[in-house]
Amino acid sequence: MKYIQAILRGIGQVMFQNNSYSGALFLIGICYNSWLLGLAALMGAVVSTGFAQFLRYSKEDIQNGLYGFNGTLSGIAVFCFFKPNITAVVALFIGAALSTVVMHFLKKALPAFTAPFVLSTWAVMYSLVFVFNVPLMASLAPVESSFNLFTAASNSFGQVMFQENVVTGLFFLLAILINNRLMAAYAIYAAVLGSFVGWFTEQASAVNAGLMGYNAILCAIALVGRRKSDFLWISLAIVLSTWVNIGLGKTGIITLTAPFVIVTWGVLWVKKLVRA
| Average pLDDT, rounded, for the chain | 96
pLDDT tens per residue across span 189-201: 999 999 999 999 9
Residues 248 and 262: their CA atoms lie apart, in Å, by 11
Query: Is pLDDT of 154 > 80?
Result: yes
Rounded to the nearest 5 degrees, what angle is found at the Cα of 77, between the Cα atoms of 75 and 81? 125
The Cα 104–Cα 183 span in angstroms is 26
Residue 142 has pLDDT above 80, yes or no: no
pLDDT tens digits, one per residue of 85-132 = 999 999 999 999 999 999 999 999 999 999 999 999 999 999 999 999
Q: What is the mean pLDDT of residues 165-180?
A: 98
Mean pLDDT of 139-161: 89
Sorting pLDDT into bands at 50, 70 and 90, what band is 275?
A: confident
pLDDT at position 272, please? 93
Where does residue 254 rank: exposed (0-12), middle (13-18), buried (19+ CB within 10 A)? middle
Q: What pLDDT is attached to residue 131?
A: 96
- Neighbouring C-beta atoms of residue 269, cutoff 10 Å: 11
Amino acid code (one letter) for 103: M
SS3 48: helix
DSSP single-letter state for residue 39? H
Torsion, CA 28, CA 39, CA 168, CA 12, rounded to 10: 70
- Where along the chain do its domains lie? 2-130, 149-275
Give the model's confidence band at 65: pLDDT under 50 very low, under 70 low, under 90 confident, else very high. Answer: very high
Residue 14 confidence (pLDDT) above 80 = yes
User: What per-residue confidence (pLDDT) applies to 116?
Assistant: 98
* CATH for the 149-275 domain, from 1.10.3430.10, 2.60.40.10, 3.40.50.720, 2.60.120.460: 1.10.3430.10
Residue 268 banded pLDDT, cuts 50, 70, 90 = very high
Mean pLDDT within 33-50:
98
**Are the C-beta atoms of 77 and 95 separated by less than 8 Å?**
yes
CATH tag, 2-130: 1.10.3430.10
Looking at residue 140, its pLDDT comes to 66
User: SS3 breakdown of the chain: % helix, strand, coil, rounded to 5?
Assistant: 70, 0, 30
Same-fold call for 2-130 versus 149-275: yes
